[in-house]
Amino acid sequence: MFDGPGRSRPVLTINRHHASEEPELLGFVLKRAGEAILTAFLVFSFVFFAMRLLPGDPVVAMLGDRAGAEAIENARRALGLDQPLIVQYGQFLWGLLHLDLGHSLVNKVDVGATMARHLPYTIMLTIASTLIGIIVGLPPGVWGALKPGGGADHSSRLVSLFGSALPDFYVGLVLLVIFGLRLHWFPLLGGGKTPFDLRYLALPAITLGVLKGFGLIRFTRTAVLDASGRDFVRTARSLGLSERTVVWKHIFRNAMIPITTQISLSIIATLGGTIAIELVFNRPGVGQLLVGAITSRDYTLIQGGLVILSVLVVAVNLATDLLYVVFDPRVRTN
């Protein structure tokens, strides 16, 4: 039981330490999950009331200006728009609890089913472009920070500065003309039979991914340089640790927290900002769907699309918070 008077075996101390970490980690996860649920509720409420504050009558937009007063009133009653706002709000929340987003005002189809058809195209584009962005941006940024002032560092910074200034729709059009129209390497337009069709996914994913990667180069370089100048890095080197250990265990791991934040923001921007790319490549994603819904003033479809995108954004933020713990366990106690 004891190695000597008053001294217990080290293994007992380690076991207690690990045992105390488990409820602490569970509490951290539950706290973040609760915050995510509250955030989602607030966003849903904002979406609902914002849609009701938009100018114009959605029923008139649906039926046309020539519709009679009786037809408009019947349509409002059928859609539940004649109910008090608080009643409509309660019905909206009740529908969300039952995964019911309502029906389109224009074509009467189920909004949830419509989103289920279009959302995978946007998600696949987001995943593919994010992976390409990480591949393009992370290695040059790390290398430039570890070898500052070198030729590779100057080249990567110049490319990053130039690439970040290019609009994505312009780059998409150029790639479409070169690789689709001239070389015939990829189909010109469309999303393919499934969201996983790489022939249709490649060009829009490369367009978004490369441009995001250019921005990530600068951010990664800054984060790694900042971590390299910390006291714990100088201490690690003074203890005689190998440069490989110092770089990967101390510098890169600490730099990954701000880098992870930047990547998560990039994912969120892609989820809600693929409209231009989806229009350029005629990809049937959520962005193109919402543009059509806004044009036709189909506020139920707009509302459902915003709710789904909000859920994805909250999920990305929650996953980012949990990744922080992987890179730095101290986060859970802060």
Secondary structure of the chain in HEC code, one letter for each residue: CEEECCEECHHHHHHHHHHHHHHHHHHHHHHHHHHHHHHHHHHHHHHHHHHHHCCCCHHHHHHCCCCCHHHHHHHHHHHCCCCCHHHHHHHHHHHHHCCCCCECCCCCCEHHHHHHHHHHHHHHHHHHHHHHHHHHHHHHHHHHHHCCCCHHHHHHHHHHHHHHCCCHHHHHHHHHHHHHHHCCCCCCCCCCCCCCCHHHHHHHHHHHHHHHHHHHHHHHHHHHHHHHCCHHHHHHHHCCCCHHHHHHHHHHHHHHHHHHHHHHHHHHHHHHCCHHHHHHCCCCCHHHHHHHHHHCCCHHHHHHHHHHHHHHHHHHHHHHHHHHHHHCHHHHHC
Q: What is the pLDDT of residue 207?
A: 92
Q: What is the pLDDT of residue 329?
A: 64
Q: What is the pLDDT of residue 14?
A: 43
Is residue 187 included in any domain, yes or no?
Answer: yes
- What's the CA gap between 332 and 334, in Å, rounded? 6
Is residue 5 included in any domain, yes or no?
Answer: no
pLDDT tens string 67-114:
777 777 877 777 777 788 899 899 889 999 988 888 887 788 899 999
Domain containing 213 equals 111-332
Q: Are the beta carbons of 131 and 88 closer than 8 angstroms?
A: no
Is residue 28 included in any domain, yes or no?
Answer: no
Is residue 147 included in any domain, yes or no?
Answer: yes
- Residue 113 tokens read as 């089913």
The segments of the chain whose pLDDT lies below 50 read 1-18
Is residue 16 included in any domain, yes or no?
Answer: no
Q: How far is CA 286 from CA 8, 195, 270, in A?
A: 61, 12, 11
Q: What is the pLDDT of residue 330?
A: 65
pLDDT tens string 140-183:
998 888 888 888 888 888 888 888 888 888 888 999 999 988 98
Domain at 253, CATH number: 1.10.3720.10
Decide: pTM greater than 0.95: no
Q: What is the pLDDT of residue 250?
A: 84
For residues 296-315, one letter each, b for 16 or more C-beta atoms within 10 angstroms of the residue's C-beta and e for the rest, the string is bbbbbbbbbbbbbbbebbbe
* Tally of structural domains, the chain: 1
Is residue 36 included in any domain, yes or no?
Answer: no
Q: What is the pLDDT of residue 5?
A: 47
Is residue 12 included in any domain, yes or no?
Answer: no
Q: Are the beta carbons of 17 and 265 closer than 8 angstroms?
A: no
Is residue 227 included in any domain, yes or no?
Answer: yes
Q: How far is CA 113 from CA 27, 54, 103, 148, 278, in A?
A: 36, 25, 9, 52, 20
Rounded to the nearest 10 degrees, the angle between the axes of helix 111-146 and helix 151-164 is: 150
